[in-house]
Structure 1
């Protein structure tokens, strides 16, 4: 009789397992996919071990949880052990103590057939820990093997389809944005044509020309030069390391007014080649002559991709190429072309490294200013104005009080001596810290992204992974600066807020919100960006697309 009941329970578990696969309720392809590099994680803490047996020894000694004694006492088969592991993980994640004296809580609940943690390598060790148990029926063993194999195949399909879905969603979001842009341009074109003698048909917008023209005017250079965090950092690094620049050949990519070229010349550089494709180069030439540096600095007009310098290699490349959220305007692409074409094998990039960081924000003032503002305009509602707010990265100055946790997450590091252009389009995991203190209401309005910049004296110098650019000063002439809320003053880059369509409620007891962020050049204009954020919240996830145009 007991054997019949045992078989009946196995058949029930098998049916539930098959239903999970059929309904695609497995969270991802990694749920039941073994990975040789994945180490089993403790049920109660974040420590990892080389195998499942080491985990059980740790749990018994450090957490008073004797897995083998418990499974023998309850007579757990494979599915029972599977449910036990998922039950304990679920309870610990929710901040509750597992009630192990009430096995019916997990043995009779089919939800614990579903992995509680992605990539849970511990589940694969469950088949190998029954050395003292009775040998299982061959049919049951075969059935389990078939289930695991089916789960793997199903999970791979889920992973593939999820990837394709995200790709299609991104393409659709960008298509909608392109349509809006084209319609806007058509309206502008019709307006212009009404004031001219003849119509202009199919006038193609040259995004590159527009980009370079925007740097032809004084205003933008005045803003950048008055940004003392930016300009002082370049000056202090160059003047503080004259021995690095003395008698060197320097290339300044995107020289603008020529300020960085003149810093390098004053620091003792033998030759400086200043390159810019904007009309501002004419003023740079005048500035160089006015300061008597024409014998050292030679100015060239054109794209660095097209220009041919009179030397085969340079010792140092200096450039202020950074845009909003670091990669907006895609000037770094040109700097990397210059690096690969001209920089000597032991040459120095200035700056040497940049990092992009993310933090969670809770900012009632921002929401009122950007979102709730449209609820009442002189007594009228204008809700139609709101959707675009959630589509765009909001570049502004944000105070430290807006950030829920002072420990931002670095999701992208660009070592400028080695990073490649294809690597500037990327998808990176993020883990956004959230506090567990009582003064945090458990709600996020969005994410904040900004970048840190580091200047090092040599390409061999390694910036510590836990460095904070706002205080980075190792005393050897290297330095850094931040565009985030914790800097001594705001920069002209400011920071970018990515508001959620609706506030995000963080699960109680969670210490972070996990997900991914994608940086991708916008097809309609390669100097613009598309950002895609996917976050996992509890058992669900959501994806939101943002544009920088």
Structure 2
């Protein structure tokens, strides 16, 4: 490889252009941080650094100097001669390393005789390789050899001259330079692909307008803040922490009814997603965001307030989708996206009995804030259904089990069974109703947060005696149906059943109830009566009211109240979903 510095000779350094270029790179660097392109994610220690890797092959070395010696001997690339010949400052060296790595990664030969290709392009301020210890060596090189490097000395002299000519300008540069170490810490974090996008948006406009000195602060200060956060655990903290671990996401991804329904909704409607801006609320592992990106979305904003966002970022990078999918950490109610509106909001927000965990509140907040007036919600509608339960095997397993435990009675264990909603899978043979009853529909384009607490009348039709129904009900079963439509104006028939809803236009549905083709991880919600209900032989239908209310002790939990009439005695019970 020829020495490109020979083509340039000792370039003439003019005072103003050199300083202006340095200032411009500083501004670009800070802009990347403010725009969450270089966002700090965790405390950094020297123990985290890795061995530097050659620019042109996979060999690793003890330090950057060893890399440069190897490059000169084996790859005919003289780094020190090149940087001196081009008069590279700190940012120039970052750009040079990232430019060469980018070209080698794509199988191209770096055009080092055309330095404008990388020196004038701020994209090369961003790292190409995760944990690139060679970039960290650049900082060490600048600090350790500052007195010996004539270029650095010259650069400082230029800055001092500017300071004399303009006091205000010098003060501004001093503030920027004093924060360079902090910014470089954040730069190291992005190399490790652990991005906490949107973390600074927690303080809204006040944060975005604050000076750079009010950002992250020292490692000790960051650790103090982390300790303070741990002391102030809230229900939200427990909720988001529960989604930080692999197990729950493995369960959801292995739920083929859930995951394949979302996939088919996106892939079967690629014409809707093509060139659109998509928001994924509660993105988890990023699977829905990546579906949308593969379907042709122009930009996907993936938001999650759990630690799982770090793995979502890694998943996005591993699949080469980082130019389309941007991940943000934070509550959707608090962060600010770099777009006024989106075309589609996609989210898997459903909980047990549909509304447990109250994630829908956040999705509706995102809808009201970001969704274009013609935008699409996916899913588009959910419906809550109820049916009668008659299952001797289930009752024996959950209730009568406590009557004899190795010869001991444990009746004290029974009451909570009738106080709590029981999450279980049921077969159609466990259902004492020929058809379920839709007692609440939630059209996602128009429903409000206030609508998520309600009282709804319902009917329970009963199987005939001839079909084998013995006139006894053990309780009720609640489940939900989910629908995806191509248009916000598409009307789903009132008698639709999600397990068979596929009209042929790209719309589809899935159910969590007993009549589905497979069980889902949501299962169904059983409300057991304190004592089985006897139904007169001439009664074929029961009526009542079901109420959903958020619990005061934890707004992510629900209390489900039931009133049922038509049996030999009225039923009135309240169940906790916690």
Q: Is the 8 A contact 2:434 2:462 kept in 1?
A: no
Query: What's the CA shift string for 1:380-409, capped at 9, x where partnerless?
Result: 101000000000111011111000123000
Check if 1:445 corresponds to 2:494.
no
Residues 63-82 of structure 1 aligned to structure 2 (within 5 Å): none
Check if 1:295 corresponds to 2:319.
no
Q: Is the 8 A contact 2:420 2:575 kept in 1?
A: yes
Normalising by structure 2, report the TM-score.
0.59
The secondary structure found in structure 2 opposite 1:448 is strand
Check if 1:421 corresponds to 2:479.
no
Structure 1 unmatched ranges of 5 or more: 1-202
What is aligned with 1:481?
Answer: 510
Check if 1:503 corresponds to 2:532.
yes
Q: Distance in 2 between matches of 1:322 and 1:221?
A: 14
- Taking a change above 3 Å as real, the CA distance of residues 442 and 204 of structure 1, as seen in their structure-2 partners, is farther
What is aligned with 1:187?
Answer: none
Q: Is the 8 A contact 2:536 2:568 kept in 1?
A: no
Match of 1:463 among 485, 492, 499: 492
Match of 1:346 among 351, 358, 374: 374
By how many angstroms is 1:227 displaced? Answer: 0.3
What is aligned with 1:377?
Answer: 405
Q: Is the 8 A contact 1:329 1:528 kept in 2?
A: yes
What is aligned with 1:522?
Answer: 551
By how many angstroms is 1:297 displaced? Answer: 0.5
- Give the 4+ runs in structure 1 shifted more than 2 A: 537-542
The secondary structure found in structure 1 opposite 2:555 is strand
Q: Is the 8 A contact 2:465 2:471 kept in 1?
A: no
Q: Distance in 1 between matches of 2:320 and 2:440?
A: 42
Query: What's the CA shift string for 1:342-389, capped at 9, x where partnerless?
Result: 000000000000000000010001110011000000001010000000
By how many angstroms is 1:215 displaced? Answer: 0.3
Query: What's the CA shift string for 1:43-77, capped at 9, x where partnerless?
Result: xxxxxxxxxxxxxxxxxxxxxxxxxxxxxxxxxxx
Q: Distance in 2 between matches of 1:542 and 1:265?
A: 50
Query: What's the CA shift string for 1:264-318, capped at 9, x where partnerless?
Result: 0000000000000000000000100110100101000000000101110000000
Residues 47-446 of structure 1 aligned to structure 2 (within 5 Å): 205-438=233-466, 439-446=468-475
Q: Distance in 1 between matches of 2:335 and 2:488?
A: 26
The secondary structure found in structure 2 opposite 1:234 is helix
The secondary structure found in structure 1 opposite 2:495 is coil
| Rg larger for | 2
Q: Distance in 2 between matches of 1:446 and 1:527?
A: 25
The secondary structure found in structure 2 opposite 1:272 is strand
What is aligned with 1:149?
Answer: none
Q: Is the 8 A contact 1:436 1:509 kept in 2?
A: no
- Taking a change above 3 Å as real, the CA distance of residues 471 and 538 of structure 1, as seen in their structure-2 partners, is closer
Q: Is the 8 A contact 2:388 2:477 kept in 1?
A: yes
By how many angstroms is 1:538 displaced? Answer: 5.4
Q: Is the 8 A contact 2:529 2:571 kept in 1?
A: no
By how many angstroms is 1:205 displaced? Answer: 4.9
Aligned residues: 347
What is aligned with 2:49?
Answer: none
RMSD: 1.0
Q: Distance in 2 between matches of 1:358 and 1:442?
A: 18
By how many angstroms is 1:204 displaced? Answer: 6.5
Q: Distance in 2 between matches of 1:325 and 1:411?
A: 12
By how many angstroms is 1:437 displaced? Answer: 2.9
Q: Distance in 2 between matches of 1:258 and 1:388?
A: 37
